[in-house]
Amino acid sequence: MKHSETIKRLAVAAVAIPLIIGASLQGGVLFVLYVCIVAAGSFYEFHGFFRKGQGPLTALPGIVVLILICFDLYATAGKTVLLYLFILFMYETIRLIHTGAFEQVRMLTATITGLIYSSFFAVFILIRELPSLAGWSYRTGGYLVLLVFSGIWILDSSAYFVGSSVKRRHAMSAVISPNKSWEGAAAGFLAAVLAVLLLGRVWTPTLTLSDLLVVGGIIGVFGQVSDLSESLFKRATGIKDSSHIIPGHGGILDRFDSSLLVAPICYLYLALKYVHGFIS
């Protein structure tokens, strides 16, 4: 990595990490706004994979619905999410029928898929608000979010450094992402589990040892599957980086792709175990 790229990465981290920590611990609307920025940015970049020849404003209806979904998750735990998805689908379908722009039908698919895909990150709002349903201290939700984020960051870093240092490595998927190796994946998995165990004992003493092992395992496995899922979309559309909005890191989706599948699975595990009547 070039020296200038390293400086950019460190500068971004020095600004972003304190903001993320502050928003996570504060919770409430501040955290929802942070999630809105990441989720909306991820959707815009995903939409751009398929937006060839279309103006950027075509992503606006999806961004509006995604922001509504984020605030709905905060206010009602997602009771009207399906309604928002239905309204967007009907709006886009009627618009295409009216204009007769059949060549844009793939954009309808990209919009709905991108909205669902990006909404996975919004589940962090449910994780942040979980203490209100489980009877925990509200601040515990902030530490839960930071625990998952930290596990993902350590997973990515460990997988990258170990995978890069192994001379004879075995590619996980030579077609989709030839630089990701099984050696790096194993190192990332172990590092994620260990990090969650160590940090969780300090940050979230409410969780048991088995909880931390499960959460660490979810991050170690599905963080890498989530990363590969974005690589799949980029490979299919001929995109290298989702954007260049974050200096030294690429796009928002590039930075947060590993968390998209992790958040819903972690939330489901914790809610099923600790929220009474969750599935009733």
Q: What is the pLDDT of residues 219-234, one digit of tens each?
A: 999 999 999 998 888 8
CA pair distance 40, 66, nearest whole angstrom:
7
Residues 94-103: tens digit of each pLDDT: 887 877 666 6
pTM of the model: 0.91
Query: CB 252: neighbour CB atoms within 10 A?
Result: 24
CA pair distance 243, 66, nearest whole angstrom:
19
**185 within 8 A of 222, measured Cβ to Cβ:** no
Q: Give pLDDT, residue 102.
A: 63
For the chain, list residues with pLDDT below 50: none
Q: Give pLDDT, residue 51.
A: 78
Q: Give pLDDT, residue 172.
A: 78
Q: Give pLDDT, residue 4.
A: 65
Q: In terms of DSSP H, where are the helices of 166-208?
A: 182-203
CA angle (194 as vertex; 188, 198 as ends), nearest 5 = 145
Nearest CA among 257, 270, 162, 279 for reference residue 218: 270
Q: Give pLDDT, residue 100.
A: 65
CA pair distance 10, 266, nearest whole angstrom:
29
